[in-house]
Amino acid sequence: RTDLTLTMIKPDATLRGLTGTILKEITDAKFSIVALKLIQLTSYEAQKFYAIHQGKPFFNELVEFMTSAPIVAAVLKKENAVEDFRQLIGATNPENALEGTIRKKYAESLQRNSIHGSDSNENAWIESHFHFSDKEIYDFL
């Protein structure tokens, strides 16, 4: 599938009350929300989600940050979702993010970068099913 992607509004943004603002940016950009939840990840879950970064110097801090407060997880639907969503959120490091992108507007730092977006269609599927069961993804929208 090429029309779904997984996002997480990260703790730095949920804690600053930016959930509604960021969801509006997402729907204004013509993504449909087909699954949505507020959830505080356990350390085990965060380690599993970011398994690809295990062993990197920032891994432990990343897990600590991502478990520090509730996040908002969502599956988004749009033609060319993965690529278009990465354009919308901007570069991982907000210092490199283009003007107008979500990270440029809201992110605090490379780690506290406000939002996640899947980096491939394969990972979009894996990450969507990490957070949601099939019946929680309302794919008729």
Q: Which stretches of the chain bind ligand CMP, using CB under 6 A?
A: 58, 62, 92, 110-111, 113, 116
**32, 141 Cβ separation under 8 angstroms:** yes
In the bound complex, which residue of the shown chain has the CB atom lying closest to ligand CMP? Answer: 58
Closest to 6 in 3D by CA, of 104, 128, 107, 102 = 128
Q: Which is nearer to ligand CMP, 33 or 91 (CB)?
A: 91
d(CA 125, CA 115): 18
Q: Which is nearer to ligand CMP, 44 or 139 (CB)?
A: 44
**75, 137 Cβ separation under 8 angstroms:** yes
Q: Is 103 annotated as a binding residue?
A: yes
Q: Is 86 annotated as a binding residue?
A: yes
Is 129 a known active-site residue? no
Please state the residue numbers annotated as binding site.
Answer: 10, 58, 86, 92, 103, 113
